[in-house]
A and B are shown apart, each in its own frame.
Chain A
Amino acid sequence: MEPKQITDKLVENIEHLRSLFTHTPDLIIHPVPLKTGQHGVLVYLEGLVDKLSINDHILHPLIYEGNAKTPPRNAVPNGGKTTSASRWSDVEAGLFQGKSALFLEGQPHAVLFDTAGWPQRAIEEPQVESTLKGAHQGFTETASQNIAMVRRYIANRNLKIKQLTVGRRSQTRVYLLYLEDVTHPEVIREMQGRIEKIDIDAVINTGELEQLIEDNPYSPFPQYKVTERPDVAVSHLLQGRAALVVDNSPGVLIGPMVFVSFLQALDDYSTRWMVASFVRLLRFTGLLIGIFLPALYIAAISFHFEILPISLLMSIGESRARVPLPPLMEALLMELTLEMLREAGIRLPSPVGQTVGIVGGIVVGQAAVQAGIVSNIMVIVVSLTAIASFILPDQNMAASIRLIRFPMMLLSAWFGMIGIVIGLTTLVGHLIAAETLGLPYSSPLAPARFGDWKDTFIRIPLQKMLNRPQSAHPVQSTRQSPSAKNRGDDK
């Protein structure tokens, strides 16, 4: 029978500790002869703690300075929290969180010092989400640091944080961040409920958690945004969304998202509105090109070449005349090659990655055309689609768009333009029906909320954007007073 409580006999405690942590060479049990004459041991997991602070703030004072009058729990390394635990499960959890436990002879509890100091990365600019004008710091793998970065943006007590734990084995700490006076309480309740319902062994990063709490796993579209940028997270918090900081993962999950917000970037707000609007429109065009261009090309040259102007028809016909493959095969060949090149580029180390580009560019771009395997118009179509999908600011959305392209190509090869229309109808139907955290996914387009259109296809000047977008149903909608003098949003 396992004792749940710590006893007042040090030897028993040490024995029990050893039986708990077998085959754990990184568990350090350090005997501490206190200056007061008491016997004790300090227990910690090497690597999860900051040894310097253990030495300076715990061991040194205890061994050389302490007297009976000052209880050891007054030692406060790193300014962190010091607690005492009398249950073994608390000690165990504490040790895994980088705390060090002090057991003293004759005391039926352990003192837990916050000595966490595991290996962590320096704050650097996230590589997958670069920005022109935003801040150049990104989230790291340490949740507390990530929360601090968000706090620095919002110096307001209404920024609330709910701590949750996910994963029976991993005990991953997850923090739900939201602005209490802005975010709709139902959103928080829903998100918290979904996280609490998860019963899983371990969650390794945000991407996994995202899939566990999304509304429709069969939708091709991402329903949450995962960002590595604190400024992006803050911007969404201010729009009334909730952010989920997952320990051990630099990705912060944001929800509830709407479709169009995947086409918006933070740079849109820091560049002047005309430029930003132009770029927005460019992205929507890119979205359409990314989904439909190869399909339209296939439909045009295998069913309805009448839609092409005569001169274009002739040049397409000329380059197609040499190609032995039917249009669908040609398009699939090229699109798959492109996807392979892209995928190869991601995983390869960057010096080798460049070779992929060169090989792909030369072999696919030039040699294949010269050899007559594909037409040069097809190369243009494929490159255009690739560029179009690359301008989408969100990687998850861009990946979805790339995926939707393939069923569209099949539909267009089977049924021509009618196939494309069927595909488009299905897509639009799905988008209209889709929900995320119980809120409509395609807001502000369906349901139409014209007030939000100021910041959808175009972005009007910031002075005119007085309200928060309604898509996340914020309880406080005013963001800026019209006089532009009184900007505080604290009531």
Chain B
Amino acid sequence: MKKWLPAALSFLLLLPLTACGKQNYLERTNIVLGIAIDRTDKDQLLVIDNQVLFSTALKEKSITSSTKAPSVRAARENLNAMSRGSVTGSKLQVLLLGKRLLQEKDVMPLIDVVFRDAKNATNARVIAVDDSIEEIMSFMPRDKTHLSVYLSDLVDNAYDKRSIARTEIKQFHYQYFEEGITPAITQLKKSKNEIIVTGTALLNNKATYIVSLDRKESVLLQALQENVESASVPYTIPVAGKGQVSIDLRSKQKVKTSFVRGKFRFDIQMKISASLLERTFTMNAEKQVDEITKMVQAQLLHDARALVKKLQDHHVDPVGFGLHARAFEYSHWKKVQDHWPDAFADADVHLTLDVEMKGLGAVK
């Protein structure tokens, strides 16, 4: 008996510790996999959520409901009122932001609830939608996959295979609050029957939409971020008058940061190893390796410089040059840290690029 008493007592003490509260049965929970937010004309939020529908009888896997409310949490209350079970965002996959909303408002306070309520998932992909979110959210994948899963797969695939930015909510939070970098998120649009990943949407530090990058520019952006160090990215280079070559590239780079004559200066040395995937004109690839390499190098350099210029023109720094500036030129960074994108727009960026052809493909 003496032996059992402490055990029983400690067990009783453990009971209030657990704090699990009530049970939360899976099948009685409305699991929100996707939320889309846009603004309405009347300065309200249009919130559409996409929930899992557990039913073997129906073909549909998801159910979409929309509401108008002043805030996301208020919208959830509205949606809760419509639901059979409790609504939870703990498996959130995608967070879609309408372009209109992005252009006009700082979205961070709107999605504050996602971070503040610890039950919410923070690995949902943040996506910018080119046109109306309603169209995307009413889209029905042909294989009846759950829409939100479809969207997150789409984004993941775009990131893995084509190097288009993928930003999860927690990264978005970092990019927003970190002075040395500006947010970049995946951009989607709906064409007639399909949803297409169009590229990367660049936002400023107020999470307001600035400019979009197309897919080719997105690849270079990832290359500049050294994100394609291990992933292969096909990159198509038009060859004047002849056709085009496609290459598979990996990049590494060295950035030298300095402060010269009142300006930041970044010397970027990109090393790109490429292999040939396709050429649409006749040539002796083996003999003309140097020629192709030169061609590729010239084109890549041109595109990369154009991209950097575009970023500077629009006062955005998705690459995170500000992090280099802070690391190497802290005293100068200190003065500009509150308006880094402007300082970046002013900076000298010298980009050199070295292409090495690693392979010419399996055929001669």
Interface residues of A, Cβ cutoff 8 Å to B: 300-303, 305-306, 310-311, 313-314, 316-323, 326-327, 413, 415-416, 418-419, 422
> A302–B26 contact, CB under 8 A?
yes
Cβ 8 A contact of B20, one of A306, A316, A317, A418: A418
Taking the closest CB of chain A, its distance from the CB of B9, in whole angstroms, is: 14
Taking the closest CB of chain B, its distance from the CB of A408, in whole angstroms, is: 15
Given A301-B27, A302-B26, A317-B52, 16 other A-B contacts at CB below 8 A? A301-B26, A303-B23, A305-B24, A305-B31, A313-B31, A314-B61, A317-B54, A318-B56, A320-B25, A320-B26, A320-B27, A320-B54, A321-B56, A413-B23, A416-B18, A422-B14
Bound: A310/B54 CA distance, A: 13
Minimal Cβ-Cβ distance residue in A for B61: A314
Interface of B is mostly: loop
Bound: A303/B20 CA distance, A: 8
Enumerate chain A residues within 8 angstroms of B18, measured Cβ to Cβ: 415-416, 418-419
Interface residues of B, Cβ cutoff 8 Å to A: 11, 14-15, 17-18, 20, 23-27, 29, 31, 33, 52, 54-56, 61, 90-91, 93, 121, 146, 149
A/B interface sample: 6 pairs, CB < 8 A: A301-B25, A305-B90, A310-B91, A317-B27, A317-B54, A418-B18
Minimal Cβ-Cβ distance residue in B for A306: B90
Minimal Cβ-Cβ distance residue in A for B19: A418
Bound: A300/B31 CA distance, A: 14
Bound: A302/B61 CA distance, A: 21
Bound: A199/B18 CA distance, A: 47
> A305–B26 contact, CB under 8 A?
yes
Assess A303 versus B24: contact at CB under 8 Å? Given A310-B149, A320-B54, A418-B18: yes
> B55–A313 contact, CB under 8 A?
no
Minimal Cβ-Cβ distance residue in B for A319: B56
> A310–B56 contact, CB under 8 A?
no
Interface of A is mostly: helix
By CB atoms of chain A within 10 A, which of B18, B52, B90 has the most?
B18
> A306–B91 contact, CB under 8 A?
yes
> A302–B24 contact, CB under 8 A?
yes
> A310–B23 contact, CB under 8 A?
no
Minimal Cβ-Cβ distance residue in B for A311: B149
Enumerate chain A residues within 8 angstroms of B146, measured Cβ to Cβ: 310, 314
> A322–B25 contact, CB under 8 A?
no
By CB atoms of chain A within 10 A, which of B11, B31, B33, B61 has the most?
B31
Bound: A303/B55 CA distance, A: 20
Bound: A327/B55 CA distance, A: 17
Bound: A302/B29 CA distance, A: 10
Cβ 8 A contact of A316, one of B23, B26, B33: B26
Bound: A419/B25 CA distance, A: 16
Bound: A417/B155 CA distance, A: 32
By CB atoms of chain A within 10 A, which of B17, B26, B90 has the most?
B26
> B20–A416 contact, CB under 8 A?
yes
Bound: A300/B17 CA distance, A: 19
Bound: A152/B107 CA distance, A: 84
> A305–B55 contact, CB under 8 A?
no
> B20–A321 contact, CB under 8 A?
no
Enumerate chain A residues within 8 angstroms of B14, measured Cβ to Cβ: 422
By CB atoms of chain A within 10 A, which of B17, B27, B55 has the most?
B27
Bound: A243/B56 CA distance, A: 58
Taking the closest CB of chain A, its distance from the CB of B104, in whole angstroms, is: 32
Bound: A305/B32 CA distance, A: 13
Bound: A314/B52 CA distance, A: 7
Bound: A326/B24 CA distance, A: 11
Enumerate chain A residues within 8 angstroms of B149, measured Cβ to Cβ: 310-311
Enumerate chain A residues within 8 angstroms of B61, measured Cβ to Cβ: 314
Bound: A305/B23 CA distance, A: 11
Minimal Cβ-Cβ distance residue in A for B24: A303
Bound: A300/B29 CA distance, A: 13
Minimal Cβ-Cβ distance residue in A for B55: A321
Enumerate chain A residues within 8 angstroms of B27, measured Cβ to Cβ: 301, 317, 320-321, 323
Taking the closest CB of chain A, its distance from the CB of B154, in whole angstroms, is: 14
By CB atoms of chain A within 10 A, which of B23, B25, B61 has the most?
B23
Enumerate chain B residues within 8 angstroms of A320, measured Cβ to Cβ: 25-27, 54
Bound: A416/B91 CA distance, A: 18
Enumerate chain A residues within 8 angstroms of B90, measured Cβ to Cβ: 305-306
Taking the closest CB of chain B, its distance from the CB of A325, in whole angstroms, is: 11
Taking the closest CB of chain A, its distance from the CB of B25, in whole angstroms, is: 5
Taking the closest CB of chain B, its distance from the CB of A315, in whole angstroms, is: 10
Enumerate chain A residues within 8 angstroms of B93, measured Cβ to Cβ: 310
Taking the closest CB of chain B, its distance from the CB of A425, in whole angstroms, is: 10
Bound: A320/B56 CA distance, A: 10
Taking the closest CB of chain B, its distance from the CB of A431, in whole angstroms, is: 15
Bound: A471/B14 CA distance, A: 34
Taking the closest CB of chain B, its distance from the CB of A100, in whole angstroms, is: 54
